[in-house]
Amino acid sequence: MATPLREVLDFRERYDLKTLINVIIQISHALEYAHSHHVIHRDIKPENILVGPYGEILLMDWGLAKVWNQDGSSEEMPEPQKPISKSKQKVSSMSDLEVLQGTVSYMSPEQIKRDPNIDFRTDIYSLGVILYEILAGQLPSTEDTVDGVIQQILNETPAKPSTLTKIHVPRLLETITMACISKSVDKRLQSCGELIRLLEEDWS
């Protein structure tokens, strides 16, 4: 029976780190395939990922996906997009808010800014946030209001995971994670293929 990745992360201390990294690798393969077909997901978060009993994954909810056509134009699902407000509502109930797209804590800076040139590297950022959560046991953005999270994502560099946990954090995994969540798209890892290759190295 498949388990939501959110439940896995809520009890991450029960899982071997290699098992959790393998989940990230499987998600990366799914995204690499989508990106190769000019599709970005734009809503990568643990609630949209199911993990099977053998480590297989199912990446769900493509309702916010963006598709590039052969002529260079792009298409989005015709879903109303409302700007992020300066809400003081707690992030724990954020699913009830009509915010930009997806869940704010996993959004890239360019997604928050509604950059019209957003590309597949926004998915790499969101996947990096999940990696950070695996290593640190918490999100990069620690504020408990939507507005606070937004300001942290746009303006603050998160602490390295190794400074937030007593669990050993392999240096390579920390480097990979921080590269994925760089605010500059050009300083991030540039493809899911690159991410897969790095995660398959001997980081232990």
Catalytic residues: 43
Output phi, psi for 84, to 5 deg.
-70, 130
Structure tokens at 108: 């890239």
Contact assessment for residue 183 and residue 150, using Cβ atoms and an 8 Å cutoff: no
- Give me 127's structure tokens: 């996947």
Greatest Cα pair distance, the chain, in angstroms, is 51
Which residues lie closer than 8 Å to 170 by C-beta, 6 or more apart?
17, 203, 204
User: CA-to-CA distance for 138 and 160, rounded, in angstroms?
Assistant: 11
Residue type present at position 131: L
The span from the CA of 147 to the CA of 83, in Å, is 12
